[in-house]
Amino acid sequence: MLNSLFLAVVQSNVPPTAEWTPTIGLVMVLCNLFAIAVGYYAIKNPGQGPDLPGSKPALFTKFGIPELLATTSFGHILGAGMILGLTNGGVL
C-alpha cells in the first residue's frame, strides 16, 4: 500500500521527457566531444593506465582507457542534463 502511494506521488511529479530523435543524439555526441576536449587538457597524469586498442591520432598519444571512460562518463552526465534542460525549456 505504501509503495503504491509513493509511486503515485512520484509519477505525478515527473517532468516530460522527449523521445529519441537525431537532434537528441547530436546533443549527446556534442557533449561527449566537449568533455573529451576538456578532459584532454584537464587530466593531470594522462597515460597511466592501459592504452586504447588499435591505432589513434597523434593528438591522443597519452589518452588511454581510463581517460576515455572518465571523459565519456562526464560527457553523458552533461548530455543528460542538457537534454533534460532543453526539453523542459521547450527547445527540443
In contact, 83 and 27? CB cutoff 8 Å: yes
Residue 40 resides in a domain: yes
Residue 36 resides in a domain: yes
Residue 53 resides in a domain: yes
The whole-number pLDDT of residue 61 equals 78
Average pLDDT over residues 25-33: 96
Count of beta carbons in the 10 Å neighbourhood of residue 35: 21
Residue 72 resides in a domain: yes
Q: Which of 27, 39, 42 is nearest to 65 (CA)?
A: 39
Instruction: Please state the domain count of the chain.
Output: 1
Task: Provide the mean pLDDT of the chain.
Answer: 85
In contact, 79 and 28? CB cutoff 8 Å: yes
What is the pTM (predicted TM-score) of this model?
0.77
Residue 50 resides in a domain: yes
Express each pLDDT in 69-89 by its tens digit. Answer: 999 999 999 999 999 999 988
Average pLDDT over residues 39-49: 86
The whole-number pLDDT of residue 74 equals 97
